[in-house]
Every structure is written in C-alpha cells, then in structure tokens.
Chain A
Amino acid sequence: MDHKGTKLIHKYLRHDKKFPHVWCPGCGNGIVLGALIRAIDKLGLKKDDVVMVSGIGCSGRMPVYVDFNTLHTTHGRALTFATGIKLVRPHLHVMVVMGDGDATAIGGNHFIHAARRNIDLTAIIVNNQIYGMTGGQHSPTTPYGCKATTAMYGHIEHAFSISELAVTAGASFVARGSVYHAQMLDGMLEKAILKKGFSVVEVMSNCHVQFGRRNQMGDPVTMMKRLKDHAVRIEKAKTMEPGELEGKFTIGILADVDKPVYTEEYEKIREGAKR
C-alpha cells in the first residue's frame, strides 16, 4: 500500500483490526505509541523483526493496534515472555510496553531481574501513577497523600521512582520522559532501541479519568501542562537544591553504560560448550 499523503502511523497500524481503540480521549498512551512508531520508522526497522510485548492494563492494549509480531501477555509478566523470545531469536527487536502497576507492582520482581541480567530488551513504562483500567486503585507510583479508589482517605505509602530503581537494578540505559515532551521522547526511544542491553524508558503520563479527576488536577490539557511544569531536566536538577525538586520529576537520560549483554555472553557459552 502507498502511504504517501497519509500519516506515518497509518503505515504501522493494523488495517484489519477492529477499531476504535480502548483508550479514553486525552489519554497519553497514544502519544507514547506515536513516539515509538516514529522511533521505529526513523531507525528503519523491518516490521518482521519487531516484536512488541505488553502486560495487562491500558498500556497493555498497545501492541494489538500495530502491525508487528505482537504479544499481549499476563499481568506483570511481559518481561518474562520477552526474555524467552529474545533468547531464541536474538536478532529480533523486542520492545516491552508496561504500565507502572504492571511493571513495578505485580511485575516488580521480573523488572529488576531483567535489568540485572542485562537482556537486550527495550522496556517502555507508561507511568500514569494509577491503575487506570481497573478503576483508579493506587499503584506503586501513586504519590503520597493522593486519592485513589483504594485510598479514599489519602495514600499513606511512598512512591517508587521507576527510573532510579532501574538504574540500581543494573539496566544499561535508563531515561525518563513525559508525554508532554513528545519530541524528546522520540529521541529517547531511538537511543533505547539501539542500545545493546536492557534499556528502560519511563514515560510520565496523565490519567485524567482515574487519577486527575479524583485529585482535582483538571482536564487532559491541564494535566499535560502540569507535566510540563513539574519536569526538570536532569542537567538542571544537578544545580538545584533537593528542596527545590520537591514534587517534581527529572527528565533526561539517567544511565547509559556499556556492559556485557546476556545474549552475546550466552552465545560464547554455546561456542565453548560445543568444543
């Protein structure tokens, strides 16, 4: 099909898929998917070589719409399935889309171990600080004091910082962006896909329906502005006092290190074992 004159995304959407999609109007998931597609297109990856894996949640529905090898797994387990695929076919570009609850609550163990192993996967975590699909329950990234349908008196737990967790767990590449900073996100995803090793891109997103509404954060546009106002570039954050960063989040590349990649190391084991 000739895609000239149509949006880039049409080249990658599944035309036989039953639309409309499941996301609410104003949701950040579409921006993440758009950025991912732009990154894949810019890198010129063959569709046949791209595997998109997801867990459960709003972001988990992302793969079904796009024309790659796509796998919608169980809640929190996407990285384990992706591990199996990558080890059997290391030449495939395996991208794993998860939400904050998916990746760091039920899938927290898999997340830190995938990072520690340094398997060459690209993990994209859409962090909207809430369980959206199931109706607004608090997640591991719901800020202290916020309201959720399972924290009606205010949340008394403390939030994970997903990116810092990934750095500590040993990921080769870690970046945090937001759905407001869409162009920046394109670049981050490109770098993450190219990176040999486990890479994580945490995308701060808005869920005005399940999170914003209950916490008086306004409509999607207001929430997007909020993302803009609360984002601080990592370079700038280094010059700021810790108190000034209260309630804000940093954006940029948190880690970019080179270390042995699991699949390449395993290939060496195979060579040695065959002798």
Chain B
Amino acid sequence: MSKKKSANRYFLQGNEAVVEGALTAGCTFFAGYPITPASEISEILSERLPQVGGTFIQMEDEIASMGAIIGASLAGAKSMTATSGPGFSLMQENLGFACIAEVPCVIVNVMRGGPSTGLPTNPAQGDVMQARWGTHGDHPIVVLATSTVQDSFELTIKAFNFAEKYRTPVVLLSDEVVAHTRETVELPPREEIHIIDRIAPSMPPEWYIPFEDNSRGVPPMAAFGDGYRYHVTGLVHDVRGFPTQRPDEIEAFMKRLFRKITQGFNEIQMTKDFMIDDAKVAVIAYGSVARSAKRAVLDARDRGVKAGLLQLVTLFPFPRMKVEEVLRQCRAVLVPELNMGQISREVSRVNQGKCQVRKLNRLDGGLITPEQIMYELLKI
C-alpha cells in the first residue's frame, strides 16, 4: 500500500483496493494468469499472500486458475482469481462447476473492450451478460459492479461474504477505469468490518449429509481433510453428493440452488441512490459510468431538471424491486452503458410500459462523459 495519508486513509488504485478487500475478507489463496488490465491484482497478491501465510500461484491459463481456486476452497481456503474478458471466457467452464458443487469463490473481471483481444487498455462493460450467462446450463449467480476505488475495497469484502454465506461463486465486475484510477480511500478498522465465514458442519462425520437441504438452502461445508469424507462432483447429485438420474432428486437439487439465492434477495440486491427522492427523470447506471452519471445529475439539476441516479451495485440477481420503484416514479429513465445495452434490456424487461427507457451507448473505448449523460437528460 502506498502513500498513507492518515490513520485509515490511503491513495490507491482500484486493483490495489481489490487486494486490500480480499486480504481483509480473509482470502488466503489466489490463482491467476497475467492479463491486462487485471495483472496488478496478481502481482500484489504474489507479494502479500505469503506474508500472511497464504498462497499465490500463477497457473498455465485461466481454466487452470479457476480449477485451482475451486480446489483451494474445497480444502478450506477463501480463494479468488482475477482476470479480464478473454480470460473470463476461459473460466466459464469451471465457474459452472463452482455453481453446481456450491464452492465459494470470488472472480474479479476487470472489463476491457472486446470481443476477443479487443481493446486491452480501454474500459468497457461488455461482459455483463457473460457474467450472468457465460457458463453453461441454467444457474443462479451473484454479480457485483464496482464504480470507485472505495467500492472496490468494500465490494470485494461483500463478494467474499456472499460467496461464503451462500456457497456460490461471486463475480465482481470492475473495468479499466476503476482498476487504474487512483483515489483516496478510507479503510475502516478491521474490527468494524463484518466478515462472514462458511458454516462448517457441527455434527459428527457419520451424521453429515453434505448436500442436505435446510431452511437457508445452504448446507454446511466441510473441508477436505477435516474428517468428513464426502464426494464432490460436477454431475447433478443427491443429498449425499452421489450422481443421480432420479427426476425427484434432480428437481429438488436444482430448485435449492436457485432458492438459496432467491431467499437472500433482500441483502444481495444492492443499489445506491443519489437525489432520487423527488426525481422525475433518472439515470440507472453501474460501474465507472455511474461516476459520470452522478456528476450529470448535479449538472442537470443546475439547469432545472429534476434528475436522480439509481446506481446498481448488484447486477445479478437483477435488483428488480428498486428499479421498479424508480420506473414507477419517473417519466423517463436513461441507461448509459459501455456496451450496446445489456442492462438497459433488463430495465426494459421489468419496465412493462411504466416509463420511457432510453439508452446511451458508447463503444469507442472512451468513457461516457457527464456532458453526454446530461445532454440526454435535458432531451428527455
């Protein structure tokens, strides 16, 4: 950490804040593969993790990185990887494994322009739907989006907490601008930060049924080597973890996977609002674009437009309730994105004619500026 200003204030870039968040959350294992603009996370953790008794390993590719963090998590560690679009695509195979085997882990995707090698050093938000639907099969997943360096710290902790609490992979979407912007952040004292650890089985091994349902839908998780010898598989399995073809067992299992996330909607679906109470037009934004949007809202208010901002912190499960409130209240909403409209389609989906939904898209590798957003706000 560099340039310490006062007790808890630091001057950090987004990628550094992710590292601080991960270490604060208790991450002790990181596996990754070099890729711009995420490499700083690997570099810093390769130095920091051994200092705290943790493990860093650079794997041969992103497929292997994802496999290694799943293995590490099954052995009891809080684990993470970080990558960008093309590497994220390689992780999708094993991300599906983490979903079905309910292995807590965190995947940071620092988005850059795409598809393919695309624009490695420019920001973009093209991986929103990749984060949601990138892996095969029907599955729930938690996707968070950071817009500031402070967010990067706090959301990394949240990502670990959700991963541990719900036994699910959590994707944290950052982008090139958030990753490389340096800002002052305040890191609260350790004792003020709420850290969640997975629940270990409290029963003796012979009573442990590793994938048995309970009121939370999240079974306690034993680590390999703790005396609870059980089977983990990417096949659909019964409550004991053994592969099954029985429709009743398959359905119960798949429904529990979805239910455990649905039951957590209230806490998982996070949004931030800004001057939204009396807003007649609103911006719905996330990631680095939300920064521009905040400024645009102020500028629009200066010009007499009652504008507000709903920032989506959680992208999936899509925070439908909060979005619907804004759609009911406003005559128009603007969804600016660094893609052709991946979240605006979600907004339109829940809109159902309540309100006018406008898009503002930029794909040239630049950021959406406050002026662009304000201009659109003045038009609607």
Contacts and interface: CB of A to CB of B under 8 A. Distances in A.
Interface of A: 14, 16-18, 47-49, 51, 53, 63-64, 67-74, 77, 79-89, 91-92, 109-110, 113, 266, 269-270, 272-274
B216 to A, nearest CB: 24
B97 interface: yes
Contacts of B229: 47-48, 67-70
A85 B50 contact: no
Contact of A84 (B29, B50, B96, B235): B29
Interface string B16-47: 00000000000011010000000000000001
A18 B29 CA distance: 35
**Chain A residues touching B, majority SS:** helix
A80 B234 contact: no
A74 B72 CA distance: 15
Residue in A51, A82, A87, A113 with the greatest tally of chain B CB atoms within 10 Å: A87
Nearest to B79: A84
29 contacts: A51-B225, A64-B233, A64-B242, A69-B229, A70-B230, A71-B224, A71-B231, A73-B234, A74-B94, A80-B64, A80-B94, A81-B67, A81-B71, A82-B71, A83-B31, A84-B29, A84-B74, A84-B75, A85-B71, A88-B28, A88-B29, A88-B72, A88-B75, A88-B76, A92-B225, A110-B64, A266-B55, A273-B51, A274-B51
A87 B224 contact: no
B50 A266 contact: yes
Interface residues of B, number: 47
Given A47-B229, A83-B59, A91-B225, 12 more contacts: A64-B231, A73-B70, A85-B72, A85-B224, A86-B71, A88-B71, A88-B72, A92-B225, A113-B64, A270-B50, A273-B51, A274-B50
Interface of B: 28-29, 31, 47, 50-51, 53, 55, 57, 59-61, 63-77, 79, 93-94, 96-97, 223-227, 229-235, 240, 242-243
A110 B60 contact: yes
A269 B64 contact: no
Contact of B68 (A16, A74, A84): A84
A5 B231 CA distance: 27
A67 B97 CA distance: 22
A92 B61 contact: no
Contacts of B68: 80-81, 83-84, 87
Residue in B53, B64, B69, B230 with the greatest tally of chain A CB atoms within 10 Å: B64
B282 to A, nearest CB: 43
A84 B93 contact: no
Nearest to B235: A72
A227 to B, nearest CB: 30
Contacts of A18: 242
B240 A81 contact: no
A81 B72 CA distance: 7
Nearest 6 interchain pairs by C-beta: A84-B71, A80-B67, A84-B72, A81-B71, A88-B75, A273-B50
